């Protein structure tokens, strides 16, 4: 179906506005809630548990938290943890670093963004 | 209480490499023989599944130690202490099932950390009241339930994904009981786990 000229312009304008609108800002406060409920089974900010301590993780090379026994895959990885790599990691860890041991996935992009915002905040970045 | 103070026996079993399967562990693994042979034909997938199970085993070992620390703290009164003992027993059964499955898939189970190491990591020295212990257990149980839910998409074998869901259900049950003991409100909305 072909739209008349004016509605077509309106539809294009709405589409352009939607495309130009920035994604909702990541919410570190919500990220903390998510971190505690979703990541807290294995991780703490300041102690190595099932997984490594997370304070300072943002900007850190993968496999470099002191005194944590990493998989060979993570230890030998060249990944540095920042927005893009953390998002890929939380989406599918095995796809980013085959042979890793976490395997925990966060399905929703907004949740991943909020968790990353919290980790960044706790890393002082 | 007997189950909570069998540290020497637990250490002995750990050291000897013997795994005594509980009835529930056997039930959990029932039908997994086909799974094991199927997995063997897909090495990468099996190795990844073993990795997930070993992470789960580390989580269960931490839970067993956490309940041990709680029981030995002298802060838990009856009937809370009895419930903690029961939940620790559940985690031991999870541990046994995971160890058996890891071995069935050709993997090597990760060793448990000492209770002292876990105490330090969980800052057990800060626990001063029964409520403190219950809050820690509640937090760990929710985290465990969510961890089991969060790894489900990563399993190569759907039977193992189902096992993960069953383990998550146990942890969610523990969380619910602890939440009631703390007189916390139940979640107002549905789908509160894994979210």
Domain ranges of chain B: 37-181
Which of A103, A105, A106, A107 would you mutate first to test chain B, the one with the most B CBs within 10 A? Answer: A103
Which CATH code for domain A23-122?
1.10.760.10
State which CATH number among 1.10.540.10, 3.30.230.10, 1.20.1260.10, 3.30.565.10 fits the domain covering B37-181: 1.20.1260.10
CA distance, residue B143 to nearest chain A CA (Å)? 3
B2, pLDDT greater than 80: no
| Cβ within 8 Å, pair A101-B55 | yes
| Cβ within 8 Å, pair A38-B145 | no
Across all residues in chain A, what is the average pLDDT? 88
B136, pLDDT greater than 70: yes
**A72 part of contact set with chain B, CB < 8 Å:** no
- Please give the Cα distance from B193 to B172 (Å, whole number): 8
Q: Is the peptide bond before B79 cis (omega within 30 degrees of 0)?
A: yes
**In contact, A93 and A100? CB cutoff 8 Å:** yes
| Cβ within 8 Å, pair A50-B59 | yes
3-state helix, strand, coil in chain A (%, to 5): 45, 0, 50
| Cβ within 8 Å, pair A105-B146 | no
- Would you state the pLDDT for residue B45? 83
> What's the first-to-final CA gap in chain B, in angstroms?
35
Task: Map out the domains of chain A as residue ranges.
Answer: 23-122
Query: What pTM value is reported for the model?
Result: 0.81
- Would you state the pLDDT for residue A5? 57
pLDDT tens digits for range A108-119: 999 999 999 999
Q: A24 CB contacts (<8 Å, ≥6 apart)?
A: A110
User: Cα dihedral sign for B5, B8, B14, B19?
Assistant: negative
pLDDT tens digits for range B155-173: 999 999 999 999 999 999 9
Q: Which B-chain residues 5-44 have CB contacts (< 8 A) with chain A?
A: none
């Amino acid at each position: 179906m072909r739209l008349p000229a004016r509605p077509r312009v309106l539809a294009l304008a709405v589409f352009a506005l939607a495309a130009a609108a920035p994604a909702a800002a990541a919410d570190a406060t919500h990220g903390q809630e998510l971190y505690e409920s979703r990541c807290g089974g294995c991780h703490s900010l300041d102690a190595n548990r099932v997984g490594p301590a997370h304070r300072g993780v943002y900007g850190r090379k993968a496999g470099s938290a002191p005194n944590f026994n990493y998989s060979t895959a993570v230890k030998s990885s060249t990944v540095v943890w920042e927005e893009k790599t953390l998002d890929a990691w939380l989406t599918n860890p095995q796809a980013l670093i085959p042979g890793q041991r976490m395997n925990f996935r966060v399905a929703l992009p907004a949740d991943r963004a909020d968790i990353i915002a919290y980790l960044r905040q706790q890393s002082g970045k | 209480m007997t189950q909570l103070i069998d540290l020497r026996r637990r250490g002995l079993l750990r050291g000897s490499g013997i795994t005594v399967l509980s009835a529930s562990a056997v039930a959990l693994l029932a039908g997994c023989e086909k799974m094991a042979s199927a997995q063997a034909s897909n090495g990468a997938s099996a190795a990844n599944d073993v990795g997930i199970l070993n992470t789960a085993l580390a989580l269960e070992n931490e839970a067993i130690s956490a309940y041990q620390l709680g029981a030995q703290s002298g802060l838990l009164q009856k009937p809370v202490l009895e419930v903690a003992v029961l939940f620790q027993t559940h985690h031991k059964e999870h541990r046994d099932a995971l160890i058996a499955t890891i071995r069935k898939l050709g993997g090597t189970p990760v060793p448990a950390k000492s209770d002292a190491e876990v105490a330090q990591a969980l800052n057990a020295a800060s626990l001063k009241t029964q409520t403190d212990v219950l809050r820690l257990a509640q937090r760990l149980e929710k985290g465990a339930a969510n961890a089991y839910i969060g790894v489900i998409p990563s399993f190569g074998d759907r039977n193992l994904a189902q096992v993960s869901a069953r383990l998550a259900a146990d942890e969610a049950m523990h969380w619910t009981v602890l939440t009631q003991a703390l007189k916390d409100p139940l979640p107002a909305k549905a789908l509160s786990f894994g979210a």
